[in-house]
Amino acid sequence: MRKSLGRPVLVNGDCNVLKGQCIRSNAGLYYSSYAEFEKALNYMLTNTEAYSQMMKNGLEFVRNNYSWQYVVENVSSLIEEIGKENQ
């Protein structure tokens, strides 16, 4: 099983899924141009406190949203809802 690496992410802001994950987790930055990419990368490399906080935020986000218990509960709830709709 692969564990979370605890590293902030730098994602393409044109991808709504990745951008949304960044916003919800507060565990990374997104860019829409090379200039934004460069600024975001430099920010991560020079602001150790912010980088460390994003690391913590990411690990917490994964733990709270992607643990097996959480996934199983969500899938079970979805199956129950579908079952209720089809009765």
What are the tens digits of pLDDT across the range 11-50? 999 999 999 999 999 999 999 999 999 999 999 999 999 9
Identify whether 68 is part of a domain.
yes
Report d(CA 11, CA 84) in Å as an integer.
39
Identify whether 39 is part of a domain.
yes
- 0.85 surpassed by pTM: no
**pLDDT higher at 67 or 10:** 10
51, 8 Cβ separation under 8 angstroms: yes
Please give the residue range of the domain that contains residue 79: 9-85
Which candidate, 8, 13, 9, places its Cα nearest to that of 31? 13
Identify whether 56 is part of a domain.
yes
Instruction: Give the CA distances from residue 35 to residues 5, 14, 30, 43, 68, in Å, rounded to whole numbers and listed in that order.
Output: 27, 14, 12, 12, 38
47, 30 Cβ separation under 8 angstroms: no
Q: What is the pLDDT of residue 2?
A: 58
Identify whether 2 is part of a domain.
no
Q: How many domains does the chain have?
A: 1
Taking only the tens place, the pLDDT of each residue in 47-81 is 999 999 999 999 999 988 888 888 888 889 889 88
